[in-house]
A and B are shown apart, each in its own frame.
Chain A
């Protein structure tokens, strides 16, 4: 008997046929759950919603966030799983960097029931505004942070902190870094925030420079030893200038990435608390 047929038979004889898949998901057997979900035939709209949600959930469990979002977005508005699916789909998209779409999905969630959901929507939109570095929008959403809901009261406060951290991020110029390193090797890297790299660059560049000078002094400017050592010293010197300019952007990315991860973390925890 074909594998699919065997399982189909099972599903027809066991409740809504999805209890076992939910059980697998609760065990963390996401691969197995996905295998079964792929074999399930189309059925009623309600069941299709459940299947789409479970697929999205299994993929989310495997950290395959793009396809997870796609599956979760297949859940229809009529489904009781709709709100949960939309929130998680938006979060998945935000995690993959598609902030614009994520914000659009959450913003389009109208007709939410009274209670926590509208506050959650506002909170998620606030966090996504921070991810998009849309500080005006964040300020608007943050004005509605109430701290009333235990599931995300702490995270509302943390978003405010992240906002302040983002505003306080130092603005560094690659040009200035390059000029500083041209003047004193390694200084541009220290300016960029890479102190250790700056000190190392200084030592190496100076060592190669003095070596070149040593050969210049002893063997003369025409000597091969001087030419080779001076060449190496020049490469190190020029490379250090370029590296200092790049270090500014590198450091900027690192700081932003770290803050993004914190924001995503704080967006995630309330979803798990509220909807698990």
Chain B
């Protein structure tokens, strides 16, 4: 699990920054920032072909997203349905349908969400989208009370996505289904299996507690209504006692005793008709009414006890799941890489608070790992390019990247695995980036040269490690571009392999089709920038911009470039609508600072 975009920075930073003659100074991502954020809903790449044509469902989809972000879920659900209606391909329809399901979930209409998601179960395209569809089908079925149906969808997930551990959300839903289906043995075994795979004593103990709670002896004693009725038939009030309502049992028994007493008194006084019509009539009413009441009390009592029990176990399962997630985050050799990925995803989603928290925690807990500082560097970078001046982020950035580079350089020699090489390229790239931003070109070239050595080393390894499609693609493309635009750079790259523009673009497209979200995002970002600024083919940049903003709608930098693409296409109406959308998003986003908000609003000024 790794990422890098930084490498390309060497080239993209040189070429993009220089090619605009500083015109982009101060604008987001001008030096080829990297990337990152979370994954709220889905990714729609729009038209897959290079002809830049619109899918008719794409624009409605953008509108629906805006409404969703504005919290108008009803209107958003209509918007997504419209996108579904107009979209001409199954992928677009599925993305729209997922959006609608999200909107319906926000409205609490799980039944309708469950019905609508059925339309997308036949989708077999993008694996991530397929996974989302199956999960939503399972989730909505669960929330609509169809636990077996939910379990069936989860089984499909397990069957179709066997690689790796199940996602936390899938695990939790599986456990909740077992709980609701009252499969306590199955649930206990599942929990034990999950806990056993961690080897963590605390988690094992937690699993034991859940297993204990699921044991028959700890299960609430459910009352059978037929038994309660039988008891009250045999002895007035006894069924109420059995149902757990002794007070009502005593009241009912007393009422019957009083009625019988009245009947006896009437009989003894010679009122034979009244004995029947008053005394015995009242008695039978209390007697048979008491039997019925005992049964209904047993039913309601059992229902309440079971609901409380399931709620308690459910809360234990949620705690257990959290502990599992925490354990996964804190163990294993890939831990820093996972944290780095989470940091990047938080940044992609413009959730700076979360990115700060994750990267800071990583740096604190793993100060000796180069990725810890690398993640922190990304956080600082995004604070810089998003216009934050709350700290000396540039100084902090330099410190972090230097630490990261220092640790990475001192790693034992030998045959580094592709992941390490990939990250190292990224670290050099990030080191270069800040130098370019500050016009320290000599230092930038030195670090860039180090990165290029590594890229040369990894050329040809793309099929073995698909992250290299990104680095090689950028190298191949940017070397040609830089040479054409700035002949003096040819001297600099004299001792490196020649680039290949077409090959570079082809490799970037392969990276954009990768299963790994971070590479995919990076590749889309660079393809967008390349087609917009270097190839000057905004029609080809559009699908990539759309992908980025669909996947990360809160990311104002991606949104900004999407706007630039729309402007370049000359459709002022759409561009204006997009600008308004970005303005609204900047005002609404609670996760950015005031100065960042003002920064983005200033970018939108005519």
Q: Which residues of A contact B (CB under 8 A)?
A: 1, 3, 6-7, 9-10, 13-14, 20, 23-24, 29, 32, 35-36, 207-208, 210-211, 213-215, 218, 225, 229
- Stretch among B44-52, B303-311, B424-432, B576-584 lining the A interface: B576-584
Q: A208 CA to B269 CA in the complex, in Å? A: 18
Q: Write out the residue numbers on chain A whose beta carbons fall within 8 Å of the beta carbon of B278.
A: 211
Check B63 for interface membership: any CB of A closer than 8 A.
yes
Question: Of B60, B271, B277, B584, which one neighbours A10 at CB under 8 angstroms?
Answer: B60
20 more CB-based (< 8 A) A-B contacts, given A1-B63, A32-B74, A218-B270: A1-B581, A1-B584, A3-B75, A6-B67, A6-B79, A7-B75, A9-B63, A10-B63, A20-B85, A24-B78, A32-B77, A32-B78, A211-B274, A211-B277, A211-B278, A214-B273, A214-B274, A215-B271, A218-B269, A229-B274
Main secondary structure of the interface of A (DSSP, over half): helix
Check B81 for interface membership: any CB of A closer than 8 A.
yes
Check B86 for interface membership: any CB of A closer than 8 A.
yes
In angstroms, how far is the closest chain B Cβ from the Cβ of A60? Answer: 20
* A211 and B75 form a contact (CB under 8 A): no
Q: A225 CA to B274 CA in the complex, in Å? A: 10
Q: Which residues of B contact A (CB under 8 A)?
A: 59-60, 63, 66-67, 72, 74-75, 77-79, 81-82, 85-86, 269-274, 277-278, 281, 577, 580-581, 584
Q: A213 CA to B272 CA in the complex, in Å? A: 11
Q: Write out the residue numbers on chain A whose beta carbons fall within 8 Å of the beta carbon of B577.
A: 1, 9
In angstroms, how far is the closest chain A Cβ from the Cβ of B261? Answer: 16
Q: Write out the residue numbers on chain B whose beta carbons fall within 8 Å of the beta carbon of A218.
A: 269-271
Question: Of A29, A35, A225, which one neighbours B75 at CB under 8 angstroms?
Answer: A35
Main secondary structure of the interface of B (DSSP, over half): helix
Question: Of B67, B78, B277, B281, which one neighbours A36 at CB under 8 angstroms?
Answer: B78
Given A210-B273, A218-B271 in contact, is the A35-B74 Cβ separation under 8 Å?
yes
Q: A136 CA to B281 CA in the complex, in Å? A: 56
Q: A215 CA to B115 CA in the complex, in Å? A: 67
Q: A6 CA to B68 CA in the complex, in Å? A: 13
Q: A6 CA to B62 CA in the complex, in Å? A: 10
Q: Write out the residue numbers on chain B whose beta carbons fall within 8 Å of the beta carbon of A3.
A: 67, 72, 75
Question: Of A1, A14, A20, A210, which one neighbours B580 at CB under 8 angstroms?
Answer: A1
Can you pick out 29 interface pairs between chain A and chain B where the beta carbons lie within 8 Å of each other? A1-B63, A1-B66, A1-B577, A1-B584, A3-B72, A6-B66, A6-B67, A6-B75, A6-B79, A7-B75, A9-B577, A13-B59, A14-B86, A23-B85, A29-B81, A32-B81, A35-B75, A207-B277, A208-B277, A210-B273, A210-B277, A211-B273, A211-B274, A211-B278, A213-B273, A214-B271, A218-B269, A218-B271, A225-B271
Q: A9 CA to B67 CA in the complex, in Å? A: 14
Q: Write out the residue numbers on chain A whose beta carbons fall within 8 Å of the beta carbon of B277.
A: 207-208, 210-211
Q: A3 CA to B64 CA in the complex, in Å? A: 10
Q: Write out the residue numbers on chain B whose beta carbons fall within 8 Å of the beta carbon of A225.
A: 271, 274
Q: A54 CA to B445 CA in the complex, in Å? A: 67
* A6 and B271 form a contact (CB under 8 A): no
* B272 and A214 form a contact (CB under 8 A): yes
Q: A14 CA to B83 CA in the complex, in Å? A: 12
Kindly report which residue of chain A lies nearest to residue B273, judged by CB atoms: A214
Q: A241 CA to B9 CA in the complex, in Å? A: 98
Q: A29 CA to B77 CA in the complex, in Å? A: 11
Question: Of A20, A207, A214, which one neighbours B82 at CB under 8 angstroms?
Answer: A20
Q: A1 CA to B65 CA in the complex, in Å? A: 12
In angstroms, how far is the closest chain B Cβ from the Cβ of A212? Answer: 9
Q: Write out the residue numbers on chain B whose beta carbons fall within 8 Å of the beta carbon of A211.
A: 273-274, 277-278
Kindly report which residue of chain A lies nearest to residue B79, judged by CB atoms: A6
In angstroms, how far is the closest chain A Cβ from the Cβ of B336? Answer: 42
Kindly report which residue of chain B lies nearest to residue A210, judged by CB atoms: B273
Q: A63 CA to B367 CA in the complex, in Å? A: 67
In angstroms, how far is the closest chain B Cβ from the Cβ of A139? Answer: 49
Q: Write out the residue numbers on chain A whose beta carbons fall within 8 Å of the beta carbon of B66.
A: 1, 6
In angstroms, how far is the closest chain A Cβ from the Cβ of B553? Answer: 14
In angstroms, how far is the closest chain A Cβ from the Cβ of B22? Answer: 34
Q: A10 CA to B574 CA in the complex, in Å? A: 12
In angstroms, how far is the closest chain B Cβ from the Cβ of A200? Answer: 14
Most chain B Cβ neighbours within 10 Å, of A6, A7, A32, A213: A6
Q: A1 CA to B575 CA in the complex, in Å? A: 13
Kindly report which residue of chain B lies nearest to residue A13, judged by CB atoms: B59
Kindly report which residue of chain A lies nearest to residue B578, judged by CB atoms: A1
Q: A215 CA to B581 CA in the complex, in Å? A: 87
Q: Write out the residue numbers on chain A whose beta carbons fall within 8 Å of the beta carbon of B77.
A: 32
The 8 A-B residue pairs whose C-beta atoms are closest, nearest first, are: A214-B273, A211-B277, A207-B277, A210-B273, A214-B274, A32-B78, A6-B63, A211-B274
Q: Write out the residue numbers on chain B whose beta carbons fall within 8 Å of the beta carbon of A20.
A: 82, 85-86
In angstroms, how far is the closest chain B Cβ from the Cβ of A145? Answer: 43
Q: A87 CA to B269 CA in the complex, in Å? A: 74
Kindly report which residue of chain A lies nearest to residue B116, judged by CB atoms: A27
Kindly report which residue of chain A lies nearest to residue B64, judged by CB atoms: A6
Q: Write out the residue numbers on chain B whose beta carbons fall within 8 Å of the beta carbon of A229.
A: 274
Q: A24 CA to B272 CA in the complex, in Å? A: 71
Q: Write out the residue numbers on chain B whose beta carbons fall within 8 Å of the beta carbon of A7.
A: 75
Q: Write out the residue numbers on chain B whose beta carbons fall within 8 Å of the beta carbon of A210.
A: 273, 277
Q: Write out the residue numbers on chain A whose beta carbons fall within 8 Å of the beta carbon of B78.
A: 24, 32, 35-36
Q: A6 CA to B67 CA in the complex, in Å? A: 9
Q: Write out the residue numbers on chain B whose beta carbons fall within 8 Å of the beta carbon of A23.
A: 85
Q: A276 CA to B269 CA in the complex, in Å? A: 76
In angstroms, how far is the closest chain A Cβ from the Cβ of B586? Answer: 14
Kindly report which residue of chain A lies nearest to residue B577, judged by CB atoms: A1
Q: A23 CA to B78 CA in the complex, in Å? A: 12
Q: Write out the residue numbers on chain B whose beta carbons fall within 8 Å of the beta carbon of A32.
A: 74, 77-78, 81
Given A1-B580, A6-B67 in contact, is the A215-B81 Cβ separation under 8 Å?
no
* A10 and B82 form a contact (CB under 8 A): yes
Q: Write out the residue numbers on chain A whose beta carbons fall within 8 Å of the beta carbon of B584.
A: 1
Kindly report which residue of chain A lies nearest to residue B576, judged by CB atoms: A1
Q: A208 CA to B278 CA in the complex, in Å? A: 9
Q: Write out the residue numbers on chain B whose beta carbons fall within 8 Å of the beta carbon of A207.
A: 277, 281
Q: Write out the residue numbers on chain B whose beta carbons fall within 8 Å of the beta carbon of A1.
A: 63, 66, 577, 580-581, 584
In angstroms, how far is the closest chain B Cβ from the Cβ of A273? Answer: 28
Q: Write out the residue numbers on chain A whose beta carbons fall within 8 Å of the beta carbon of B269.
A: 218
Q: Write out the residue numbers on chain A whose beta carbons fall within 8 Å of the beta carbon of B79.
A: 6
In angstroms, how far is the closest chain B Cβ from the Cβ of A10? Answer: 6
Q: A1 CA to B272 CA in the complex, in Å? A: 84
Q: A36 CA to B415 CA in the complex, in Å? A: 63
Q: A7 CA to B77 CA in the complex, in Å? A: 13
Q: A225 CA to B581 CA in the complex, in Å? A: 83
Q: Write out the residue numbers on chain A whose beta carbons fall within 8 Å of the beta carbon of B60.
A: 10
Kindly report which residue of chain B lies nearest to residue A206, judged by CB atoms: B277
Most chain A Cβ neighbours within 10 Å, of B77, B271, B577: B271
Q: A208 CA to B277 CA in the complex, in Å? A: 7
Q: A155 CA to B77 CA in the complex, in Å? A: 41
Q: A211 CA to B74 CA in the complex, in Å? A: 65
Q: A3 CA to B68 CA in the complex, in Å? A: 11
